[in-house]
Amino acid sequence: MNIDIGLIRRSWSLVEPVADQVTQHFYGRLFANYPHIREMFPPAMDLQRDRLLHALTQVVLNLEDGAGLNDYLGQLARDHRKYGVQPEHYPAVGSCLVAAMRFNAGGAWLPAYDEAWMTAYNYIAEVMIQAAEQDAVQTPPAWIGTVVAHEVRTPEIAVITVEPDHPYPYRAGQYATLQSAHWPRVWRPYSIANAPRQDNLLTFHVRMVPGGWVSTALMHHTRPGDSLLLGPPRGSLVLDRASTSHLIFIAGGTGLAPLKALIEESVWVPDRPTIDLFHGVRRSGDAYDNEDLQRLRSQHRRLRIVHAVSDDPEGWRRHSAVDALEYHRIVPDGDVFVCGSSEMVRVTANRLLGLGVPFDRIHTEFAPGAAPSLAVL
Ligand SMILES: Cc1cc2nc3c(=O)[nH]c(=O)nc-3n(C[C@H](O)[C@H](O)[C@H](O)COP(=O)(O)OP(=O)(O)OC[C@H]3O[C@@H](n4cnc5c(N)ncnc54)[C@H](O)[C@@H]3O)c2cc1C
């Protein structure tokens, strides 16, 4: 990789404060110059802009980490197959991206930055094209999933089980992007709530967001027999099977889904670790998965489950999942996995650091330096 990282970072610092303008300019230019590419994108572009920005930031931050960057780009490339991205689209994206940065740099852009970015971009494109080609030999760009069960567990949460039309190779803790027939070309990530199973079924825990396109369609307009599209598996929240003898899982709401998959997976860890699961919900009625968690506990003798309720006006003790960990005097002396809203993950990770848990023992989907999860160019 012959990329001038110094030039990339210097030029990025010029445009980072106006990154929103850069992405708007980029898409405007791309769609004006290459109108056929517009068809590959969803009607509303807001999330798409965030994703481009996120992907760019991750690339800029991880340039020194060759293996990590390649792994991330590989995931990105596999994911892009579902949009119908072809090798001939890459030069169009590269030239519009550099032009958008140059245009928004307030006259401070140097010709050397053009060259540095094109070298970096050509490298990125090469890695992605190769990864997509390799992937195409074995797997489809997207899977058609048939909904085989749809359980409304609370007024806001549904548990949906899907049977993909082909084997879906993934690791416990990963997520899939889903597309509902109600919102063509709109993909949203949802964690897979079970470890890989012989029957190939995938379960998702969906919380409906008020006004949310895909979550509302999944909650209210999806029934057994319906089809969903599934993108390839993504994400880095996976278990190291040579892990510690004590695993702690801290979930907020439907952040339970990937952690449940990891608990199922933990039966393969040598010497069966002790597991503490803390599931935090706002109100006691939001604890949507108690029955299944009881079943899981009956299969894992070393699994302890603690529920924490943070906002129940009638609850006699109100606390978050990480409060519960302290209250029960559990010493976080092993790997700790955290999943929930980004705010919950941020607060919990800070509390864990304060309790002396080493940084590299705290596992989240959004850990700095880990392969990011949202990036879709
Ligand atoms: C890696 C990853 C895994 C995820 N796994 C799950 C999962 O297992 N289960 C699950 O239910 N969701 C999960 N999500 C969130 C999910 O992908 C969607 O963002 C969510 O369902 C909203 O999508 P939507 O199309 O319904 O809403 P949109 O149409 O995207 O949004 C509608 C409005 O709601 C706001 N909004 C979006 N999300 C939220 C939110 N979470 N809380 C409050 N306001 C919001 C938006 O800003 C917008 O104003 C995951 C997200 C990521 C990044």
The CATH number that applies at residue 317 is 3.40.50.80
**In angstroms, what CA-CA distances link 50 with 45, 60, 89, 339?**
9, 15, 20, 21
Number of domains composing the chain? 3
What integer pLDDT is reported at residue 186 of this predicted model?
92
Beta strand 274-281 with 246-252: parallel, antiparallel or unpaired? Answer: parallel
CB 32 less than 6 A from any atom of ligand 1? no
- Can you tell me which atom of ligand 1 is nearest the CA of 254? 9
CB 35 less than 6 A from any atom of ligand 1? no
**pLDDT-derived band of residue 17, with 50, 70 and 90 as boundaries?**
very high
What integer pLDDT is reported at residue 325 of this predicted model?
86
Size (the chain), residues: 377
Contact call for residues 226 and 304 (beta carbons, < 8 A): no
What integer pLDDT is reported at residue 320 of this predicted model?
87
Would you put residue 329 in left (φ > 0), alpha (ψ -120 to 50) or beta?
A: left
What integer pLDDT is reported at residue 50 of this predicted model?
78
Query: What is the rounded end-to-end Cα distance, in angstroms, of the chain?
Result: 21
113-167 per-position pLDDT tens digit:
999 999 999 999 999 999 999 999 989 999 999 999 999 999 999 999 999 999 9
CA distance 248 to 261: 13
Are residue 17 and residue 134 in the same domain, yes or no? yes
What integer pLDDT is reported at residue 377 of this predicted model?
29
Are residue 256 and residue 328 in the same domain, yes or no? yes
pLDDT more than 90, % of the chain: 69
Domain that holds residue 76: 5-138
CA–centroid distance, residue 209 to ligand 1 (Å): 7
Q: Which two tokens stand for residue 57?
A: 């930031």
Give the end of a domain, one of 138, 160, 183.
138
- Can you tell me which atom of ligand 1 is nearest the CA of 47? 30
287-331 per-position pLDDT tens digit:
999 999 999 999 888 899 999 998 877 665 678 888 888 888 888
Residue 113 main-chain phi, psi, to 5 deg: -65, -40
What integer pLDDT is reported at residue 366 of this predicted model?
59
239-296 per-position pLDDT tens digit:
986 667 899 999 999 999 999 999 999 877 777 889 999 999 999 899 999 999 999 9
User: Does pLDDT of 367 surpass 50?
Assistant: no
Amino acid at 276: D
What integer pLDDT is reported at residue 315 of this predicted model?
62
CA–centroid distance, residue 176 to ligand 1 (Å): 13
Are residue 336 and residue 280 in the same domain, yes or no? yes
The vertex-136 CA angle with 134 and 140, nearest 5°, equals 145
CB neighbours of 90 closer than 8 A, spacing ≥ 6? 125, 128, 129
What integer pLDDT is reported at residue 375 of this predicted model?
28
